[in-house]
Structure 1
Amino acid sequence: MTTEGEDSAAPPRRRLDWLRAASDRLPTSWLTGIATGLFLVATAAFGGLATAAEPAPVTIEPGQEHRNDQFALTIERVVLVDELTEAGVYVEDGERVLAVVVDVENTWTRPIAVHSTSSLTESLRLEGLADTPPDSIARYDDGTVAPWLQPGVPAQLVLAWAVTAGRFTDGQPVGITLSDMTLHTGSFVANGQWWTDPVPAATMTVILEDIGAGG
């Protein structure tokens, strides 16, 4: 015959014995998986699996190079000029040309067309024109419009926009953002490689020069 204290203690012991027995019958891999799942759920609940934030863009100066796996870029000048037809941009009445002079080197292993959505049009954006790709990109030396850049061969380019007269003024600080892109390799239906997903990597401020008819 059991005492009252023994009766009250028996059910917990029986429950523990049942749990131990059930655990012994489970494969070790199951137990490990369950424990891992519980850990992941708990970690996610507290934000431990949140995607790491992208690093903030670094601040660089005009004339300072920004290099990544696609380009080495050095911003030389930002100018306002009356017209720039030799660079392939044409203005209407009440418009002028905003132009960025930039030294560029193709650091990839293949030739790159500069005027495409996976090239300089995404890599370089101006404050006030961030959603507007340049109207033209041309070589500074000979005026070749939309040139291709060969690997390891530097070139000086002009990125030009037709803008409303008075929108930009002499001495105005202009913010420029340089972005890095990721090389994507296609498979199955989409073959080839292309650069995509621009992420701001460097910013600078350049003082705009109004050079009138050019110079």
Structure 2
Amino acid sequence: MGLVDRMTSVKRPRDSTKKPLLIGLTGSIGMGKSAVAQMFADEGVPVYDADAEVHKLQGPGGALVDAIEARFPGTTGPEGVNRKELGARVFGKPDELRALESIIHPVLAQQRLDFFAAHRDAAMLLFDIPLLFEKGGSENVDVIIVVSAPADAQRTRVLARPGMTGQKFEKILSIQVPDAEKRARADHIIDTGVTLEETRAAVRRLIATLSR
């Protein structure tokens, strides 16, 4: 789980006249959400990838590096923010996490507005929001898509990640809304427990449906 998982809210600019369909894409860790987001992008749907934006902001010369170093000394270097070190400083520590969020969120909020303005003529916009349900952002999108896969496939994917352990995986799951509940609250579900070709076909069918 990346630090950007705390980003949830997507709101329309107040002066918006044309209203692209706002799509919230979410799913538990290891469900293949990033792959599905890329499939939407491949089909021409503008995608706001918050994790990628945070990587840029925390990378070498990134806009957040100085503020993060000031609040969390020793977590940055020539390559920008050391995400592993920073994660260790805030994981399981609500006060420290809130302090980090107070640095990150205002910048991301402005970026989302800029993204909306840049694509206001698009038919639909997709926002990749890992904790859409957990942090109460679901009311700010028009359609919710949940990416899901069988539990055994999810576990295999997650434990294959560098530095991941079974204990850490269970800890992450404990703070996420269960997959079954996410599926129940979704407008649409994309299954990634099948082949990539089948998932891509499902994405194309869904885009066609949403376009109508």
TM-score (norm 1): 0.22
Greater strand proportion: 1
- Structure with more relative contact order (C-alpha pairs < 8 Å, separation 6 or more): 2
Higher Cα Rg, which structure: 1
- Structure with the bigger percentage of helix: 2
